[in-house]
Each structure stands twice: as C-alpha cells, then as structure tokens.
A = this chain, B = another copy of it.
C-alpha cells in the first residue's frame, strides 16, 4: 500500500489513524486509494509492532445451558460495537487443556473472559506472567483475576422470601454437585433466609446443571409420597428449573398449585408460556460491559489491582410461583 501511494509506510499509518501531522490533502489521497483498492491494515502486523491485538479470548460453558449462548451473543454484539474481535478459547463443560490456554498467549489476546471452567493454575500463572488480564463472568476467581457476577446470595435470599410469602413451607433445592461458587452462593442465600424464618430444606437433589438433571429431579419429586413432597422448589439455574417443570408436568402435578418452582438466570426461554418461570434475571449486558471495561483498563495498565464486581439481579415474578 505504501509503495502504491508512493509514500512512506509511516505516512500511510498516520493518515489512516488521522494523525494531525499529515496534511488533509495527503490524507484524502491515501484514504481514496485505500477505499479504491480495498486496502485494510494487517491487524497481525499491527499487533506485532504495537503490542495490542484487539483480540479478546472467550471461554464458554456447556452447550446444554442456553445461558452461554446468550452470553456469547451479547459479547459478540458489544465487541462489534467496540471494534474488537473474540477468539473462542474453549466451549463446553470439560476442563481447559493447557494447550488451549496457550493460544491466549500465542495469539497475543488483550484479555480473556472466562464464563465457565477453570484455567489450570499453571495456565493462569502464564497469563499473569504475560500480562493477559482475566475476567471471570458468572464465576469467582480462584487465585487472581477480576470477576463480575450477579449477587447470587441476595438472589437466592429473594427467592426464599418470595416462597415464604406465598405460604410455602416445605422446600426442595435442585443444586449441582460440581459446585461452582455461583451455585454455592445461591444456595447459601436461599438456605440462610429460610433459617431466619425458622424453616429448612426438606430435600436436596443434584440436577447436574442441565435440563435432563432437572427433569429427573422433577420426576423424583413427583414420585414422593405426599407428606414428603415439597411445596416449593428452587432450582439453582433456569435450565434445571425448566427440566423440573416438565418432569412435574408429565407426572400431572400442578404448578404452582401443588408445587411452586423458581429458577435463576433469567434465560429468554424462561418466559415461554409453557414455563412462565419465576427467576432472578442476571444483568448480562451490563455484566459483559463491565467485563470489557475491566479488561481494557488492565490492557492499558497491567498494574491495576483485581476488581470484584457483583450486581444485583432482577426478580421476575411469573406464574410458576403463584399468587401471594
């Protein structure tokens, strides 16, 4: 491109970046040539030279939870607006292989959003060494790194208060054994609020963080003899709650008359008439926005300390928990 215009490469760079040192005439000429020839600067060469790639890594969780799909779309939307790109580092429930984590370094990403799984401590260490900032979304960090989460405790407590106000007294919890910080906090919030009211869980079932697990839990509860059956169920994620609802439905148990059900996350699909699920909606757009802000700031100044951000979720009351 530079030889095409008959000028020095530096002039092209500065013209394209709108540097004031370049005359308007020269700038217009270069811009014209660039448009005409469909020229665009090689982002890789730029990265090599400037150190900033405009690339952020993204680690996604299991395909079984639509939450990650919503997260991906929101992140992509914002990235397009802000003018940088997303590199998929991993997607799925499994652990991140070291070799996968290496691409964070190899492709010189400016940072990484981790919404699931955990980097091995070795991988995390390498990121730290190479000044690759990390932000966990919907997860809290282990050793170091920022995070942005929903206020899971408060959300769990809010669901508990709602259930109590609906005169429910026997509580079931659908949790997940592969206990992430997220689900642990939600449970604690729920249970401690129950305890304050002198109530407690009557049953606790592992829902494996997916629909099928929730469905099985719903069936299991439906098969319980009436005295043991809970009249309220809190599933720690919407996807499990939807499974529970279907499990109960196929067993002809009425929601919310027989059992009230609530979830957590605020998935788009929780609003479907067939579910009408009461839930705590995570402020996903804002969470992603903050995550990017944290990353960007740390790209500019790696010495910034970790920030830990929690956001209040929004209680959405639907018919799955009935009327007061």
- Seen from chain A, the residues whose Cβ lies within 8 Å of a Cβ on chain B are 38, 40-45, 47-48, 53, 55, 58, 60, 63-64, 66, 68-70, 72-73, 76-77, 79-80, 83, 85-92, 97, 99-100, 102-103, 105-108, 126, 129, 211-212, 215, 246, 249-250, 268-269, 272-274
Contacts and interface: CB of A to CB of B under 8 A. Distances in A.
Contacts of A100: 80
A182 to B, nearest CB: 20
Contacts of A250: 273-274
Nearest to A91: B76
A255 to B, nearest CB: 13
Contacts of A211: 269, 272
9 contacts: A38-B126, A44-B108, A48-B48, A58-B88, A63-B268, A72-B72, A77-B92, A80-B97, A83-B99
B72 A42 contact: no
A267 to B, nearest CB: 11
Given A76-B92, A87-B87, 15 more contacts: A40-B105, A41-B106, A44-B53, A44-B107, A45-B48, A55-B87, A58-B88, A76-B88, A80-B100, A85-B88, A85-B89, A85-B103, A211-B272, A212-B272, A215-B272
Contacts of A48: 42, 44-45, 48
A42 to B, nearest CB: 7
A44 B77 CA distance: 25
B274 A43 contact: no
Contacts of A68: 69
B273 A215 contact: yes
Contact of A87 (B41, B85, B268): B85
Nearest to A93: B73
Nearest to A92: B73
Given A58-B88, A70-B63, A80-B97, A43 B107 contact: yes
Task: Among A41, A88, A99, A126, find the residue whose CB has the most chain B CB atoms closer than 10 A.
Answer: A88
A256 to B, nearest CB: 16
Contacts of A102: 40
A47 B108 CA distance: 12
Contacts of A108: 42-44
A162 to B, nearest CB: 24
A127 B99 CA distance: 30
Contacts of A212: 272
Contacts of A72: 60, 63, 72, 88, 91
B107 A91 contact: no
Contacts of A249: 274
Nearest to A106: B43
A289 to B, nearest CB: 17
A250 B274 CA distance: 7
Contacts of A89: 85
A242 B79 CA distance: 32
A45 B47 CA distance: 9
